[in-house]
Structure 1
Amino acid sequence: MSGGRQRFHCEVALVEGRLAERVRVEVLDGAVVGIAAGVPPQSGDVVLTTVVPGFANAHSHAFHRELRGRTHASGGDFWQWRHRMYDVANRLTPDGYHLVAERVFTEMRDAGYTAVGEFHYLHHQPDGTPYGGHEMELALAAAAASAGVRLVLLDACYLSGGVNEPLREEQQRFGDGDAHRWLDRWHRLRDVLSGQGNGLVTLGAAIHSVRAVSRSDLAVIAGGLPREVPLHAHVSEQPAENQACLEAYGLTPIALLAEHGLVSGRFSAVHATHLSTGDISLLGEAGATIVMCPTTEADLGDGIGPAPELQAAGARLAIGSDQHVVIDPLEELSRLEFDQRLRLQRRGVFPPDTLWAAGTVSGYESLGLSGSLGSPPGLRVGEPWDAVEIDTTSARLRGVDPWQLPLAARACDVRATIVGGRLTRPGR
């Protein structure tokens, strides 16, 4: 993060739910301390054009980027794709992981993502032997610091190869043996990560899925994980996952997590594609976040989740790039709307303010990075100075209503990304 006092002047900026002109932003030690609209620039200001809050990538698997453009020729389903993913996972060393993640995080930054939730489970060596000192996690932290993005490391508990099944050979590096040992490692990791990454790195938590933990593991996690820590989980991505959970426990994945008090305002359900009406009610009543990854869900043929029903029930929506078939927050946001148009056969499912929120404030809330729970999208005093400058003068965007940019702009329109006051131009 950039230290000291900085001043920026924006021709247009999204401020607390509205577009304002001639906006001057004052920043101290990477946080916004003042916003004034309708004022001219002053000497020394960094002059910008159209500025919006930074986008949050609330679900990332950095190493999946290695599969881009390599899994289409032979067709296949999600489960076949997963076996290809395991092969990539088991070839990574800490140094290789750092290189892959640095490239991915840099691509995210240049596309307009200012924060990323890295859903991480490559904890140990391929045979399951622990490293001496959190080498894989530190590789991710160093990669994020190098790229200049804010990282929430969502360290995942991954103990089983399927519901009530042991880890398979290709999954050994994911596991900690039991939930107590995962929690012990999680707490040690939190101490190690403190102060890493120039203040841009924090630790969250994840449950890989109900396939990867037992009922007793969930009880241990619920009792041992600090309640303020953001908690994410893959949920109901595939019908087969739901069926296995129902057969084992008589409950859907969401109902099983809720049974242990894990579905709350700090919880984010990733994908949530195949939900029951009861699941939707549980998530909405809890005020949970749903992290949808439209380009990945389309690539894997997962289906289209009930996003408008979840929002109507009280859940918040956020986005992620997941396997990085595309790294473009604006593409994810437009697909969030357009996929629902195909599903429901009508236009205007989500107003632009919903899309702005899904891309920015709700994603930051999902990662525990914002204290403005439920606030409208936009720059505000007290928040980190994480922002994106969008070029609205191109032949493609000329004449577009800036309020509707989530449906028209793309990553190629990003002119600059600011994270904690540090401004970077794409390709730098």
Structure 2
Amino acid sequence: MSMSTSALFARHALLPEGWRADVLLEWDERGDLSSVRPGADALAGVEKADYVLPGMINLHSHAFQRAMAGLAERAGSSEDSFWTWRELMYRFAGRITPEQMEAVAAQLQVECLRHGYTAICEFHYVQRDPGGALYANPAETALRIAAAARRSGIGLTLLPVMYGYAGFGEQPLKPGQQRFRTDPELVLRIVEALEAQRGPQLEVGAAPHSLRAASAGQLRELVAGLPAGRPLHIHIAEQQLEVQQCLEVLGARPVDYLMERVEVDGRWCLVHATHLSDGEVAALAASGAVAGLCPTTEANLGDGLFPLAPYLAAGGVFGIGSDSHVSQSPVEELRWLEYGQRLARRQRNIAVDDACRDVGTYLWRQALRGGAQTSGRAVGRLAAGRRADLLVLDGAHPNLDGLDTGEVLGRFLFCGNDNLVRDVLAGGRWVVRDGRHVDQDAVARRYTQAVRALRAM
């Protein structure tokens, strides 16, 4: 008997109510879960798995930066910082072609899928050609990201970025920023041009880059023009210098300033939000917005540590992203989210609450919640009506041998560096089998060709 391609029997699956045994998961032709039944019988012809998790959402990505990951780790003649790293990033952004961008994005997405991300939010700000002119289709480069996602199979939230200024006080853009130049009208044109792309695997929102790059008037115009309910993401309070300049020029801290000028609610994702006052922590938590945390990038750039414990105590929602792609693993993001807090507070087991005392389980479930909310897509839960996005862990790996289900996520996140993700289903399509993406070799060849050409330019 042939195996069913639209069903999976999980001996253990992480459902919204917790771990459940003997779960039959079925999905339809659209890639939506049609039935999730615990306590089911193992039917003949249905594939079986030991441990099944909802796929993770990567809520913050700059895909083109995958091509430069690991190339900014040589010390310069002066003290290195985010700002010196940014100069190298601008050089890569100034060179990359739409074809290369598609190849790099596909490679990144394949790597994300292999490590357990089944959805990604692309904070997309390279809109113009290398000379600063618009392409014939203003959505040209965004469409390349969408094409890469169709090939890789990852779910996508596209966020065309509004980028109008070089710094606080509406400073004119520098030469290295001309490819990013947009205003509310252009961003909304790009959003409209992407309308035909929207569907179960792709949503379209928008992203004012930061308070450095967008005025208050532009923020209000973009928010008013974006269709109701669409996601809105913004970089904010990432660097101490950014906070200092915001205070000096705008007279308020970044999160306070944003909240005084637009309604920040559940469709917003405030990316990084590293340097917050106590009042901003409380206000962000109360708003219902998501704190978009990218621990590996924030560590790589020397940003600082998000105030996680008080934010969680205030009921705040968070998700994780890989940002500059020095890592493509949700395990590493969540591990270092917790480890950073342990180092800062000099204690253990920070990310828990009264209802869940297991750190691994708490981190995975809370990151699913925040990622799903800010993606604008029906993901993050193994439940009927949600996308069929799931991970099958390698039950034969020694790290998972003989565990109670309550121990699985602790082992997954905090035991060694082997990738325990064996198979990945995204939108009802098996895209990773036995640890390999179904198109891995062809995607890698195109990526290698693109990066060689970029480095030769």
Per the normalisation by structure 2, the TM-score is 0.87
Q: Is the alpha carbon distance of 1:397 and 1:346 closer, same or farther for their aligned partners in structure 2, counting shifts above 3 Å?
A: same
Shift of 1:175: 0.9
Give the Cα separation in 1 of the matches to 2:24 and 2:69.
40
Counterpart for residue 357 of structure 1? 365
Deviations 1:178-225 (A, max 9, x none): 323333x23422324246xxx422211111110001122122123222
Give the Cα separation in 2 of the matches to 1:204 and 1:46.
37
Letter in 1 for 2:142: E
The question of 1:190 aligning with 2:215 is answered: no
Letter in 2 for 1:382: G
Deviations 1:252-306 (A, max 9, x none): 1112211222411111111111111121122111111011111111111111110
8 Å contact from structure 1 (residues 329, 359) kept in 2: no
Shift of 1:27: 1.4
Q: Is the alpha carbon distance of 1:354 and 1:67 closer, same or farther for their aligned partners in structure 2, counting shifts above 3 Å?
A: same
Q: Is the alpha carbon distance of 1:182 and 1:101 closer, same or farther for their aligned partners in structure 2, counting shifts above 3 Å?
A: same
Q: Which of the residues 157, 167, 172 maps onto 1:166?
A: 172
Counterpart for residue 143 of structure 2? 138
Any stretches of 5+ residues in structure 1 without a counterpart? 372-376
Give the Cα separation in 2 of the matches to 1:221 and 1:151.
21
Give the Cα separation in 2 of the matches to 1:181 and 1:92.
21
Shift of 1:77: 1.0
Q: Is the alpha carbon distance of 1:82 and 1:399 closer, same or farther for their aligned partners in structure 2, counting shifts above 3 Å?
A: farther
Counterpart for residue 383 of structure 1? 386
Counterpart for residue 228 of structure 2? 227
* Alignment map for 1:385-400 (pairs within 5 Å): 385-400=388-403
Q: Is the alpha carbon distance of 1:392 and 1:7 closer, same or farther for their aligned partners in structure 2, counting shifts above 3 Å?
A: closer
Give the Cα separation in 1 of the matches to 2:211 and 2:418.
34
Give the Cα separation in 2 of the matches to 1:403 and 1:294.
19
Q: Which of the residues 381, 393, 416 maps onto 2:423?
A: 416
Counterpart for residue 265 of structure 2? 264
Q: Is the alpha carbon distance of 1:411 and 1:259 closer, same or farther for their aligned partners in structure 2, counting shifts above 3 Å?
A: farther
Shift of 1:409: 6.8
SS of the aligned residue for 2:264 comes to coil
Give the Cα separation in 1 of the matches to 2:296 and 2:264.
26
Consecutive aligned runs of 4 or more in structure 1 exceeding 4 Å deviation = none
Counterpart for residue 119 of structure 1? 123
Counterpart for residue 374 of structure 1? none
Counterpart for residue 12 of structure 2? 12
RMSD of aligned residue pairs (Cα, Å): 1.8
Letter in 2 for 1:182: V
The question of 1:175 aligning with 2:181 is answered: yes
Counterpart for residue 150 of structure 1? 155
The question of 1:105 aligning with 2:70 is answered: no
Counterpart for residue 376 of structure 2? 368
SS of the aligned residue for 2:398 comes to coil
Shift of 1:394: 1.5
8 Å contact from structure 1 (residues 355, 406) kept in 2: no
Letter in 1 for 2:351: F
Deviations 1:391-416 (A, max 9, x none): 14322343551142333375711101
SS of the aligned residue for 1:360 comes to helix
Give the Cα separation in 1 of the matches to 2:294 and 2:222.
26
Using the TM superposition, name which of 349-358 and 312-321 deviates more.
349-358
SS of the aligned residue for 1:11 comes to strand
Give the Cα separation in 2 of the matches to 1:25 and 1:249.
52
* Alignment map for 1:38-117 (pairs within 5 Å): 38-74=39-75, 76-117=80-121
**Number of equivalences:** 415
Give the Cα separation in 1 of the matches to 2:311 and 2:270.
11
Give the Cα separation in 1 of the matches to 2:370 and 2:261.
24
Letter in 1 for 2:272: H
> Sequence identity, in percent?
37
Give the Cα separation in 2 of the matches to 1:17 and 1:399.
23
SS of the aligned residue for 1:396 comes to helix
Shift of 1:7: 1.6
Counterpart for residue 442 of structure 2? none
Counterpart for residue 277 of structure 1? 278
SS of the aligned residue for 1:270 comes to strand
Letter in 2 for 1:137: A
Letter in 2 for 1:21: A
8 Å contact from structure 1 (residues 19, 403) kept in 2: no
Give the Cα separation in 2 of the matches to 1:60 and 1:37.
35
8 Å contact from structure 1 (residues 7, 26) kept in 2: yes
Letter in 2 for 1:85: M
Using the TM superposition, name which of 395-404 and 122-131 deviates more.
395-404
SS of the aligned residue for 2:50 comes to strand
Counterpart for residue 27 of structure 1? 27
Give the Cα separation in 1 of the matches to 2:11 and 2:198.
38
8 Å contact from structure 1 (residues 269, 290) kept in 2: yes
Deviations 1:115-152 (A, max 9, x none): 00011000111222100112101110000110110010
Letter in 1 for 2:10: C
Q: Is the alpha carbon distance of 1:327 and 1:215 closer, same or farther for their aligned partners in structure 2, counting shifts above 3 Å?
A: same
Give the Cα separation in 1 of the matches to 2:274 and 2:53.
29
8 Å contact from structure 2 (residues 59, 319) kept in 1: yes
Shift of 1:169: 0.4
Q: Is the alpha carbon distance of 1:222 and 1:182 closer, same or farther for their aligned partners in structure 2, counting shifts above 3 Å?
A: same
Letter in 1 for 2:57: A
Letter in 2 for 1:14: L
8 Å contact from structure 1 (residues 157, 179) kept in 2: yes
Shift of 1:156: 0.9
Shift of 1:369: 1.2
Q: Is the alpha carbon distance of 1:408 and 1:368 closer, same or farther for their aligned partners in structure 2, counting shifts above 3 Å?
A: farther
8 Å contact from structure 1 (residues 64, 324) kept in 2: yes
Letter in 2 for 1:416: D
